[in-house]
Amino acid sequence: MQLVISLAWRNVWRHRRRSLVTGGAVGVVVFLSVVYFSFGGAAENSLYQRLTEAAGHVQVLQDGWRDAGTFEQTLITDADAVRSTAEDLAATHFEAPLVVGVLEVPVLLSGIERSRGLALRGQDWPELAQQRSLVGGTLDGRFVSGPGELVLGASLARALDVGIGDDVYAYTPTGRGFGAAIFTLVGTVDLADGTTEGSTAWTLLEDTQILAAPGAVQRFDVHGTTLLHIADDEVSEDLASALGNALPNLEASTWLTLNPGTARLLETLDPLLFAVSIMFFILAGLLVLNTVYLSVMERIKEFGVIHALGAGDRRVLSMIATESVLMCTTGAVLGTVAGLAVVAIYADGLVIPGLVEYYAAFGMNPVFYLSIEPQQLLFAVAFAFVTAVAAALWPAWIASRLEPVEAMRFQA
């Protein structure tokens, strides 16, 4: 076997330029596949961040909230006790967890002359929550920091004909609170998504509780603030299960359960990536086939001599297949190293100029966190090997079936 490998390696370098081009093509395909898979991982991470930053990794809601017919049926009335349980369990599963209470109240917001019906969102507003809510947007004025303060979407503020410092009136026919309140507009936010901007109204959780549901919330969003990659999130399911056991009258759901459409998208993304990668390798395989075939045609007489000296069909076939494998393996190793280097460099974040505003328009994180799964890397390397073997079969079969006398008379 050592002799076969030695001869194969020597034959690979007979036509140095052609072998370099072929091996380089395989290396480029492997490199592109690794980078392509890593960008697929970045897309998954971007979807993951968009959903978890907006609504948390796990949500605690009233049991049966999907079928609730009234505002009161969505409320968690013992909010303080539930918050305490959620914070305790989150601390055992997440590093630097954040638990945010949310209460959205259907209201009629009114300026002096104009009014709009919408859901007034009251929640806890730690600095991280403020930053995430403003991704892709700009704030004019300041964020809510005290009771009776309000932030509106810029287009909603124009629709109500109110500006910073003006009073905004809120009325709600539901709930057990005062049912009416006066807010001071302290800021307007210009968001990339005009539809969202037209329905954005933010205030403190305590204000919406006083307005409609004292001491209650509709949900708690539990965030794992240090999780950036979907592959690193192995604890959301465990936390949801622990919360479900500790709070049997409530429902604890992961971000993926709450977004079945995204779950289906993630299920189809990997097969799509593999399918496109296979097309890359088919093109590379054709180039390898061409190189090996030309090499065989140029050495017909040589193979005739080898047969005449007693080499069997299997020995000739294995020698040609080994040439192809050596050529492709060398390219695959170099392509893998280069691809992993790119992934390692940009694993902590890559911003592509020109796409920042595009991604922000969809509320997605414009930072790409490249990542690749071990099975994807193994697929790229293994398929390079399969490509080498498959491309060598036909030329090797031709060479192994040569008659010595006819081969030595062959003229290319």
- Whether 92 contacts 57, CB under 8 Å: no
pLDDT value of position 131:
84
- Choose one of 232, 254, 276: the last residue of a domain: 254
This prediction has a pTM of 0.72
Range of the domain at 190: 57-254
Q: What is the pLDDT confidence band of residue 43, given thresholds at 50, 70 and 90?
A: confident
Residues 166 and 22 both lie in one domain:
no
- Position 403 pLDDT exceeds 80: no
Q: Bigger pLDDT: 214 or 10?
A: 214
Q: Are 101 and 210 members of one domain?
A: yes
Looking at the structure, do residues 272 and 387 belong to the same domain, yes or no?
yes
pLDDT band (50, 70, 90) for residue 359: low
Residues 274, 237, single domain; the answer is: no
- Residues 274 and 174 both lie in one domain: no
Contacts of 391 (CB under 8 A, 6+ apart): 285, 286, 288, 289, 292, 324, 328
On whether both 293 and 361 belong to a single domain, the answer is yes
Final residue of a domain: which of 254, 289, 311? 254
Residue bearing tokens 């399918």: 275
> Same domain, yes or no, for 95 and 211?
yes
On the question of pLDDT at 142 being above 80, the answer is yes
Residue 186 has pLDDT above 70, yes or no: yes
Examine the domain organization and report whether 240 and 268 are in the same domain: no
219-247 average pLDDT score: 89
Say if strands 219-224 and 167-171 run parallel, antiparallel, or are unpaired: unpaired
Q: Scanning the structure block, which residue is given the tokens 């995204």?
A: 262
Q: Is the same domain home to 272 and 162?
A: no
* Whether 204 and 283 share a structural domain: no
Residue identified by tokens 């897309």 is: 43
User: Do 73 and 139 reside in the same domain of the chain?
Assistant: yes
Q: Which two tokens stand for residue 363?
A: 């509320």
What is the tally of structural domains in the chain? Answer: 2
- Domain C-terminal end among 254, 272, 287: 254
pLDDT at residue 389 is higher than 60: yes
200 and 168 inside one domain = yes
pLDDT at 207 over 70: yes
Q: What is the mean pLDDT of the chain?
A: 82
